[in-house]
Chains A and B, each alone.
Chain A
């Protein structure tokens, strides 16, 4: 037997492309958040509500990732926000090269904030750097307070946690404190926002945080 030693990261190609994306964003001062969650936690709803709240104060753009359809892009486009839809045709996560392709089709003039809505999946997107400044994991109260323990790497790799659908707490078995403790046990540095797209709770705080673009606090 002869041996070739290589010591290479399996995801090196993705990481290099992600780094290239990151440089592009940094040069233009664009703050980029990668939104991850299980299907239906409310990522698109949060974007819609955020654009209502930010209207006139901050120019944003969106890259949507879905397995099929451009339904989410259509929802977001109603708010006058430049948006490009990536359809992965089965792939369960976005990769940096897909984001790079989407970037070519986006007009970044005046854009300060870019949201990348990842494919609804609480496992795979955790492994892929897209060039974002931070991953934001969205967990809705209807999913249960044990989810951080069941999907730890997503919580470990995220800098922010949005607990969404807090309006539904009276109807579901979700202990908010237990949820937060479970998440913080995995990642004590997580910054947590408690929100509801129905009542608007938490959106002023979230949008203030967005306006500060305070990466250093992450």
Chain B
């Protein structure tokens, strides 16, 4: 439900990271969204394309990489993916786990079209 706020944060960071005379060339923004980040990728995509309309970034598209929830058991060191939100080690039943991934909400990189590509 707060995907709009997140989309605005992304827009801001991209505007800070790309020199102003190049913002028109931004084509792709790679972001990583963890399964447990509370963000719905489709909804984020929708919000982002809505807010870039009046900006120089209107040709930019989000490329969203979804990161699965991975965990390591602190008792038996077993590594496994969390399914259905069950935070219990399937091998030794321990609940003493370390989260390895799944909470990400990061911008990884920004792709810019080169001058040559512009003409196309």
Contacts and interface: CB of A to CB of B under 8 A. Distances in A.
Interface of A: 1-14, 91-93, 95, 121, 123-124, 126-127, 149, 152-153, 156, 185-188
A2 B105 contact: no
Given A1-B27, A11-B6, A13-B9, 8 more contacts: A3-B111, A4-B110, A5-B109, A8-B106, A10-B107, A11-B9, A149-B85, A153-B36
* Size bracket, chain B contacts: 20 to 34
Interface in B85-117: 85-88, 95-96, 105-114, 117
Contacts of A12: 13
A188 B87 contact: yes
A6 B9 CA distance: 14
Contacts of A7: 106-109
- Chain B contact surface mostly: mixed
- Chain A contact surface mostly: mixed
B87 A185 contact: yes
B105 A93 contact: no
A99 B17 CA distance: 27
A124 B2 contact: yes
